[in-house]
Amino acid sequence: MAKHKVGIVGASGYTGSELVRLLTHHPDVTLEFVTSESYTGKKITDIHPHFQDLVDITLVSIDDVHEYEPDLVFLALPHGVSMNFVKEHGLDDFIIIDLSGDFRFSSQSVYEKWYKKDHVSAEYMEQSVYGLPELFRDKIRNAQLIANPGCYPTSAILALAPLIKQGYINPSSIVVDSKSGVTGAGAKPKEGLHFPDVFGNFSAYSLVNHRHTPEIEHTLLNYSGYTTEVLFTPHLLPIDRGILTTTYSTPKKEVNKEMVEELFHSVYEKEHFVRVFDSPPSLKNIRGSNYCDIHAAYDERTHKIITISTIDNLVKGAAGQAVQNMNIVFGLIESTGLKQIPLNP
């Protein structure tokens, strides 16, 4: 069978470079082009030297995408830039998997409020499918525009979805406490992310107003039918990659430790990329891989269910999940090219 032709728009960034890493040895696709506006004409190895002797491709401009007649294009672009790309190119010529937040909401007003953008396209937002395979793979299969989830939401939703869907918890009692490595903020230097600010430090940010709050609530509603109220607090860890998310919620029925553990084992037993653990997971056990590791517990004394989930923000939180989505739309085995063993230590 002929290989599928794919390209990456925004390959000089962190998630774009992870896509290059994952797609280079994917058996069923050929990487036809990679783009960057700042480095057009340079070799990918000039920007990402770790590809030396492994990837030989030159960065082209976003304006050249059509020349390659791709079957599918990954957009690893900032919010707003992806929206413009889709408005300009439409969805007739190739499938799009967008890593930004531009198409994660079906409601234009929710997006405008949390992303502070105008000139959005309600038409394309309505056509998009939220690309969390474990919850929505049937819709993803026939999608032309896939909104790859945010990194924090991936870790929180995979931990909360079984509890909400099966009616285990009170939907308005949810606290989500997340910690992320610095690559979550992208490759472009930003204030507060310099080495002296981050090294040896640990801090919370975007209290009560992070745009991932509505993403988590909106997705849990779409999946379960329950309107949730989520209190989400992100933190910045002094590490390069990885997210650890802890959730706390109040059961709405009689539960015990065994019931909670069994729920997660049964929901995820057939999943390629969700591993249920009997003890709290840690970041090094998912580093560089597409796994989401989850542990769920029940505290009888405070009557709370606790979940702890870990992902690599650049893989299951971005590029790996995007390749998983690509495998689904191309009708390939979902784990193709994604069975990297985590890097530990």
Ligand X SMILES: CC(=O)N[C@@H](CCC(=O)OP(=O)(O)O)C(=O)O
Ligand Y SMILES: NC(=O)C1=CN([C@@H]2O[C@H](COP(=O)(O)OP(=O)(O)OC[C@H]3O[C@@H](n4cnc5c(N)ncnc54)[C@H](OP(=O)(O)O)[C@@H]3O)[C@@H](O)[C@H]2O)C=CC1
Residues belonging to the active site: 151
State the binding string over 97-116 for ligand Y (x if CB under 6 A, else -). --xx----------------
Whole-Å CA distances, 48 to 21, 99, 130, 168, 222: 10, 20, 30, 46, 39
Q: Which is nearer to ligand Y, 62 or 294 (CB)?
A: 62
Across the beta sheet with 274-276, the strand order is 203-204, 230-236, 174-180, 243-249, 304-311, 292-299, 274-276
Of 96 and 306, which CB lies nearer to ligand Y in the complex structure?
A: 96
263 alpha-carbon distance from chain centroid = 24
Q: What are residue 100's phi and psi, to 5 degrees?
A: -80, 180
For residue 96, the partner it binds in ligand Y, ligand X, none, with Cβ less than 5 to 8 A by kind, is: none
Q: Could you tell which of ligand Y, ligand X, none binds residue 76, using a CB distance below 5 to 8 A set by kind?
A: ligand Y
Minimum CB separation of residue 215 from ligand X in Å reads: 7
Residue 81 binding ligand Y, by CB under 6 A: yes
Could you say which residues in the range 285-344 bind ligand X, by CB under 6 A? 317
The least distance separating ligand Y from the CB of residue 315, rounded to whole angstroms, comes to 9
Given 3, 5, 43, 79, the residue binding ligand Y (CB under 6 A): 79
Cis amide prior to 78 (ω within 30 degrees):
no
Q: Name 317's bridge partners.
A: none
Cα separation, 34 vs 16, in Å, equals: 8
Find the shortest distance in angstroms from Cβ 138 to ligand X.
Answer: 24
Residue number, 169 or 176, with CB nearest to ligand Y: 176
CA distance 98 to 128: 10
Q: Does residue 51 interact with ligand Y by CB under 6 A? A: no
* Binding characters for ligand Y, 162-191, by CB under 6 A (x = yes): ---------------------xx-xxx---
User: For the purposes of burial, counting CB atoms within 10 Å of the CB of 84, is it exposed (0-12), middle (13-18) or buried (19 or more)?
Assistant: middle
Amino acid residing at 235: H
Residue 153 in the binding site for ligand Y (CB under 6 A): no
CA distances from 213 to 128, 157, 173, 268 (A): 20, 11, 14, 24
- In terms of CB distance, is 74 or 268 closer to ligand Y? 74
Question: Pick from 4, 6, 7, 14: which binds ligand Y (CB under 6 A)?
Answer: 14
Residue 57 as a binder of ligand Y (CB under 6 A): the answer is no
The amino acid sitting at 250 is T
Rounded CA gap, 168 and 162, in Å? 8
DSSP letter at 313 equals T
Q: Of these, 43, 78, 121, 231, which contacts ligand Y (CB under 6 A)?
A: 78
Q: Is 234 in the site for ligand X (CB under 6 A)?
A: yes
| Interface with ligand Y (CB under 6 A), residue from 318, 323, 332, 338 | 318
95 is an interface residue for ligand Y by CB under 6 A = no
Q: Rg of the Cα trace of the chain?
A: 20
Q: Please state the closest distance from residue 100 (CB atom) to ligand X, in A.
A: 6
Please choose, out of 137-145, 248-256, 274-282, 313-321, the segment that lies near ligand Y by the rule CB under 6 A: 313-321
Nearest to 54 by CA among 24, 18, 31: 24
Instruction: Reply yes or no: is the peptide bond before residue 345 cis, omega within 30 of 0.
Output: yes
Alpha-carbon distance values, 321 to 118, 186, 258, 334 (Å): 28, 17, 30, 10
* Residue 216 lies near ligand Y (rule: CB under 6 A): no
In the complex, the residues that contact ligand Y under the rule CB under 6 A are 10-16, 36-39, 62, 76-79, 81, 99-100, 150-151, 183-184, 186-188, 313-314, 317-318
Residues in contact with ligand X by the rule CB under 6 A: 100-101, 150-151, 180, 184-185, 234, 236, 317
